A and B are shown apart, each in its own frame.
Chain A
Amino acid sequence: DGGITQSPKYLFRKEGQNVTLSCEQNLNHDAMYWYRQDPGQGLRLIYYSQIVNDFQKGDIAEGYSVSREKKESFPLTVTSAQKNPTAFYLCASTMAGNSGNTIYFGEGSWLTVV
């Protein structure tokens, strides 16, 4: 079955360490997105990519980095520069272009900095 797989689901990180969250999809989607959600808050866009080897910053990109070397993979690195990284991270994908395609979501990753 096609879908998006995010891993790990739960992750603890020490302050000062970088951590990478994985997002893989086998839906042949062009566009992939990373969002952050804080308790009681909405989803905020970190980075998005519409094509391989290209990505754009979202509203809260500082302290994060991404890569899009393969169409099916869009990993997110939370760097030590991110001041408050404890949050729920969600990956999404859809077909690119101005079309009304269904958005698919991963199950999310809970990151806690200790």
Chain B
Amino acid sequence: GAVVSQHPSRVICKSGTSVKIECRSLDFQATTMFWYRQFPKKSLMLMATSNEGSKATYEQGVEKDKFLINHASLTLSTLTVTSAHPEDSSFYICSASTLGGNYGYTFGSGTRLTVV
């Protein structure tokens, strides 16, 4: 079945630094990838939709200059948290979709970001 690899699984960084999270579709081409974050006891919140070869679409309230998304190929999307602050500490999850339909959703294993 479809596999999405997300890396790293855990990262601790200092406040003010940038962190890059990668999301790769291993055995299929993902035309669309989604980035979510989850705070404790909260639902998965969609941050942005990433389409291969075009700019990402950000949800209301998500700072596009802070959360940089690049979807340069059909198998790779990256999320860079720039100038990270402790309040950015969260669980970030990507999901990938093939063309058309909801059946194509596959989630990565998530990245636990801790900003100290």
Do A and B truly interact?
A: no
